[in-house]
Structure 1
Amino acid sequence: MRHRLRLLCLFVSLTLFTNVDAQKRRVYIDHSDSLVSNVGVAHNADRLIGNVIVRHQGAIMHCDSAYFYSKENRVDAFGRIHITQGDTLNLKGNSLAYDGNTSLAIIRGDVKLKDPSLELTTDLLEYNLENGVAFYTTGGTIVDSLNTLKSKIGRYYSNDKMLFFKDSVELDNKDFLMFSDTLKYNTEIKTVYISGPTTINSDSGYLYSESGWYSTITQNAELYKNSKMGNKKQELRCDTLLYDKLKGRGIAHHHVEIEDFKSRLVIKGEYGKYHEFSKKGMVTKSALLLQYDKKDTLYLHADTLRTQSVADSIPDKKIFLAYNRVRFYRRDMQGVCDSLTYSAQDSVMRMYFDPIVWAMKNQMTADSITYANNNKGAGLLNLYGKSFMVSLDTLVLYNQISGKNMIGYIVNNKLDRLDVNGNGQTVYYVKDKEGMVGVNKAICSDIRIKLKNNKIDRISFIESPKMDFFPPGDFGRGDLKLPMFRWEEALRPKNPLDVFNFDSYKKEEEIIRNIGESDEQKNVFEKVRKSLRNVK
């Protein structure tokens, strides 16, 4: 008996709870100028005409006329639809289908949704009055205090202050335009969350990424995938980009590339910085500079690579700096030094602190070296202070030239002539058709050397030379090596990858050498990245 009583009480409680919940979900008609019940017009519906007011769960709906389906707890409304819900929702349209059981309103025609933070306009909108979620698929526009956003598909989570956009997304701000495939937008903090290909264009340049966030208030950003930042003159590419608009600073991580289009220069590395105001950039960690043209490419590595403008008053006058363990490779010329600068305006490279340059079979050293290249196969090589050039004649014999300063003339990418200015000395091995004749040692203030096929062809002594000639039997004399003699072939970069010169790359280097030159050019950078990624 007690068991039956408990079941009866439970049934009554469930029934009362169900009835109370049903009462909460009932749609009520608060006002209508007239009411018509006509089965011929609408089955199981009451026709409400004139100043209709419908109430449901704190929401008030106004319209000109409506059909009220009391058994189904729904309303079809027409003419000047206006829905309010406290001070948070103001929704207007031409027609409405509302289901009180699900709290879902489908509103059509000149739809406008307003809340304290934005206004949404579209042709067709689904809005859930219970959870505050709005959804459109026919194109919509959202305007807040800073931005105008458009998309084909959109969803608004009013309680969370979040908007989700899909397909042909546009964001219009007074300072920039944003185009995207997919993004989210927080209406409270005015921040965009990127989750698809997105481009941000402004007067100063552009940003691109496929993942990250962008503040439309501060224009700061954190971009995490295939990120780019640039303008018509240069571009910064990387995986992760941290951008501070106020400071004008970008910090890049992983697969960093800075390309200067006019100078035909690319700087690569794993970490970089760029400052918009000072026009200064820096790349480090496996840093690599490439200068490319139709005929060849220069590959240059250093611990740190920098770029900066020389003067704001001179457009495009930039210099590139490389320092600590500089090594470079090009088919016709290689070099090493501690520090190096390159001027984009006049295409002049300046090498400092123990520089060495190799041009085919010739090695050149000096206190400092400059090289000017006009990209047409002609160039000028200047050696300043303690200048010295040496080439291997045989396995043990070296042709040598020393002087205070030297000027080398490059023709068709080959060293064609060398002028020695001041304190000139030479050691030159003389040959005829039958073999070695002897060695000529000379001292002369100014000397001119003509080269052919990268070998000394003719030497001209400008005035009053002091000369000694030694037969082959005297080749072992110690004084046949000039005081500044040094032979540094072991330091010479052998290929593009060798500019890194780390023991951990030797296996990759051997593989590339075995593959051949064409494949080397094609794969060198990917191999560098893979093998160097974990090197500190």
Structure 2
Amino acid sequence: MKKPALFLAIAICCLSGFETLAQISVPFKSKTDDSIHNVFIWHSDTLRELRKDSIAIQSLFGHVKLQSEKTFFYTDSLAMNHKDNIIEAFGHVHINDKDSTDIYSDYMKYFVDTKKIIFQKNVQLLDGKGTLSTDELHYDMNMHIGDYYNGGKVVNKNTTVTSQEGTYYADTKDVYFKKNVKLKDPAYDLSADSLIYNSEKQLATFITTTFIRDSSGRTISTRDGFYDMKNHRAQFGKRPTITDKGETITADNIHFEDSTGISTAQGNAVFQDTVQSLTLISNLMIANKKTNTFLATQQPLIILKQDKDSIYITGDTVFSANIPDSVLRTPDSVQGMAIVRKAANPNDSSLRYLQIYHHVRIFSDSLQAVADSVYYSGLDSIFRLYINPVAWAGGYQVTGDTMFLYTKNKKPDRLFAFENSLVVGKSYTNMYNQIKGNTLNGYFKDGVIDYMRAKGSAEAVYYIKDDSMNLVGVNRVNKADVIDMIFLNKQLNKVVLREDADGVMYPIRKAKIDELKLRNFKWLDYRRPKTKYELFREAPEPQAVPEEKTGPVNEERKDTIQGLR
């Protein structure tokens, strides 16, 4: 018998049936480098040696306490095998590692050479911040790392995380969960293939595709980021998507804080409202859930989706909020009851308004417009254009001090311009059809311009063509109460003067074209977004060029004009 074993045998003979009161050093010789590792027996009710197949097994029974370096072992009984350098513990196993981590189980196998432990049956690991439960845990005392491979659970206050596999890092209080990860929290439910959770900071870090559902029903899909459960804030990366009651937002990065209700989306952010068929794109969006407000900057673009002719709107800044209750609850003589009923549902996205300000540009196939600022209400579906608004429809330009665009089912329905309203359409080089009035209404049919009406001190200049579409004259209306422009297939078909019209018609050869411009005339076609791709680049104002002196049309000019179709 080797000296360590002989020493232990003598101790067993002396102490059998008695409680040990002083520590006994039990040396284990390494099989690889002949080094000695001492295990100290602090307490045992009984010590006994058994021999099986020439292998001596020292057994300790009753309130056993051992020490290996800074780790203490407690158990009902254990067996020490010096040949294989293994210590096995049975019943109420408990170890305390570095006075910071406690592990409990029904069974433990300690490999003395490698300082690795296998815990089995009813395993629990406690670190003062959370509890890890599993049926089998492999623990490395050198690295202070534990692994489970057959299902485990971590409970930290009100948060529970389960997974098929996991790795616990005692020094950092991190748990790396793998395979079928589920996190349950009073505020959130989470599922992922992998997740890192810090029990001390209550911080979940997302490293693979992760799906989250909060208590309000909002869902989040992300592949990167973190959620701080202690401070109720989160950040998501790699194009996360958040869906909330028919509204979806995705961006390169999204950050939000529950305490303030503020969330920020950065980098190619896309917001979609499926109820209103509205899409908003920008590089920066800021939303406040508590005030239900929304701000978008850095080239924001609004798309009002339609089957054939969507409306595109851009500006420097987009702001959205709920329509105030004072407005919602104001009865209207015709539809007041409908307004009051709508007010009972404050979460209805149709009860919001949009403010788009500075360098506003609007495009659809049937209508284009520019202005300094626009206000849109979901309650009445009216775009209100302020400060130098200009609109184009059916090849005609409309200007006025203020302009209202009424929509129906996201299509233009009526255009109303008041104060200094003027309609201009180009007929030929330096020749423009013009209608002016105190107010102007343009009416659309199925989203296409149908007719326009100028009313109040109306004036007009329009060029007349024969059935072959040759220019034959120009009509100068000095005064009329009402002037209508009738369109066909987006083109001017005829002009109708109503009530007390006073005007003169000039043959085209005798018309002084340069003088046939109404007050405040400006041709602003260079500002018109001709496609949706031109919304973010407005052409500079062209330099003034001396206009051709037309005068009466000569024979050569007459032939050119008459040949124009």
TM-score computed with the length of structure 2 as normaliser: 0.79
What aligned pairs does 1:482-493 form with structure 2 within 5 A after superposition?
A: 482-493=518-529
Q: Secondary structure at the match of 1:393?
A: strand
Q: Does 1:441 align with 2:453?
A: no
Q: Does 1:494 align with 2:530?
A: yes
Q: Secondary structure at the match of 1:483?
A: coil
Residue range with higher mean Cα deviation, 29-38 or 193-202: 29-38
Corresponding residue of 1:51: 62
C-alpha contact (below 8 Å) 1:319/1:342 kept by paired residues: yes
1:430-469: per-residue Cα shift (whole Å, max 9, x none)?
A: 2223533322222212233321122332333331111211
C-alpha RMSD of the superposition? 2.8
C-alpha contact (below 8 Å) 2:30/2:37 kept by paired residues: no
1:267-325: per-residue Cα shift (whole Å, max 9, x none)?
A: 22222211111222122222222221221322222111222221364432111221111
Amino acid at match of 1:488: L
Q: Does 1:407 align with 2:441?
A: yes
Residue range with higher mean Cα deviation, 295-304 or 116-125: 295-304
Corresponding residue of 1:330: 364
C-alpha contact (below 8 Å) 1:27/1:73 kept by paired residues: no
Amino acid at match of 2:369: G
Q: Does 1:122 align with 2:134?
A: yes
- State the distance in 1 between where 2:309 and 2:500 align: 42
C-alpha contact (below 8 Å) 1:45/1:67 kept by paired residues: no
1:225 CA drift (Å): 2.1
- State the distance in 1 between where 2:88 and 2:51 align: 15
Q: Does 1:151 align with 2:151?
A: no
Q: Does 1:455 align with 2:491?
A: yes
1:261 CA drift (Å): 2.2
- State the distance in 1 between where 2:49 and 2:309 align: 88
Q: Which of residues 105, 111, 133 is equivalent to 1:93?
A: 105
C-alpha contact (below 8 Å) 2:44/2:60 kept by paired residues: no
Q: Are the structure 2 counterparts of residues 18 and 454 from structure 1 closer, same or farther at C-alpha, using a change threshold of 3 Å?
A: closer
C-alpha contact (below 8 Å) 1:319/1:343 kept by paired residues: yes
Amino acid at match of 1:164: Y
Residue range with higher mean Cα deviation, 241-250 or 429-438: 429-438
Residue range with higher mean Cα deviation, 275-284 or 174-183: 174-183
1:100-145: per-residue Cα shift (whole Å, max 9, x none)?
A: 1222111122222223111111121111234321111211110122
C-alpha contact (below 8 Å) 1:33/1:52 kept by paired residues: no
Residue range with higher mean Cα deviation, 223-232 or 259-268: 223-232
Q: Does 1:161 align with 2:196?
A: no
Q: Does 1:284 align with 2:285?
A: no
C-alpha contact (below 8 Å) 2:95/2:103 kept by paired residues: yes
What aligned pairs does 1:112-261 form with structure 2 within 5 A after superposition?
A: 112-204=124-216, 205-261=218-274
Amino acid at match of 1:39: K
Corresponding residue of 1:72: 84
- State the distance in 2 between where 1:360 and 1:459 align: 14
How many residue pairs get matched? 486
Q: Are the structure 2 counterparts of residues 356 and 503 from structure 1 closer, same or farther at C-alpha, using a change threshold of 3 Å?
A: closer
1:66 CA drift (Å): 4.3
Q: Which of residues 298, 307, 310 is equivalent to 2:320?
A: 307
C-alpha contact (below 8 Å) 1:362/1:454 kept by paired residues: no
- State the distance in 2 between where 1:346 and 1:123 align: 63
1:500 CA drift (Å): 0.8
Q: Are the structure 2 counterparts of residues 63 and 144 from structure 1 closer, same or farther at C-alpha, using a change threshold of 3 Å?
A: same
Q: Secondary structure at the match of 1:497?
A: helix
C-alpha contact (below 8 Å) 1:113/1:121 kept by paired residues: yes
Corresponding residue of 1:521: none
Residue range with higher mean Cα deviation, 25-34 or 126-135: 25-34
Percent identical residues? 24
**Highest Rg: 1 or 2?**
2
Amino acid at match of 2:67: H
1:28 CA drift (Å): 4.8
1:26-82: per-residue Cα shift (whole Å, max 9, x none)?
A: 475853646352425xx6252637437252314343445544212322123344433
- State the distance in 2 between where 1:107 and 1:347 align: 68
Corresponding residue of 2:552: none
Amino acid at match of 2:116: L
1:488 CA drift (Å): 1.1
- State the distance in 2 between where 1:115 and 1:356 align: 69
Q: Are the structure 2 counterparts of residues 45 and 67 from structure 1 closer, same or farther at C-alpha, using a change threshold of 3 Å?
A: farther
Q: Are the structure 2 counterparts of residues 477 and 133 from structure 1 closer, same or farther at C-alpha, using a change threshold of 3 Å?
A: closer
Q: Secondary structure at the match of 2:368?
A: strand
Q: Does 1:360 align with 2:372?
A: no
Q: Secondary structure at the match of 1:473?
A: coil
Corresponding residue of 1:272: 285
1:343-384: per-residue Cα shift (whole Å, max 9, x none)?
A: 233332221111111113111111122222223756111112
Q: Are the structure 2 counterparts of residues 25 and 318 from structure 1 closer, same or farther at C-alpha, using a change threshold of 3 Å?
A: farther
Structure 1: tracts of 5 or more residues without a match = 1-16, 505-536
Amino acid at match of 1:96: M
1:96 CA drift (Å): 2.1
Q: Are the structure 2 counterparts of residues 376 and 277 from structure 1 closer, same or farther at C-alpha, using a change threshold of 3 Å?
A: closer
Q: Are the structure 2 counterparts of residues 372 and 25 from structure 1 closer, same or farther at C-alpha, using a change threshold of 3 Å?
A: farther
C-alpha contact (below 8 Å) 1:386/1:405 kept by paired residues: yes
Corresponding residue of 1:531: none
Residue range with higher mean Cα deviation, 278-287 or 368-377: 368-377
- State the distance in 2 between where 1:266 and 1:133 align: 49
1:201-242: per-residue Cα shift (whole Å, max 9, x none)?
A: 223434443222221012112333213344113233221223
Q: Which of residues 516, 539, 546 is equivalent to 1:480?
A: 516
Q: Secondary structure at the match of 1:171?
A: strand
- State the distance in 1 between where 2:91 and 2:84 align: 22
- State the distance in 2 between where 1:383 and 1:50 align: 98
1:87 CA drift (Å): 4.7
1:391 CA drift (Å): 1.2
Amino acid at match of 2:380: D
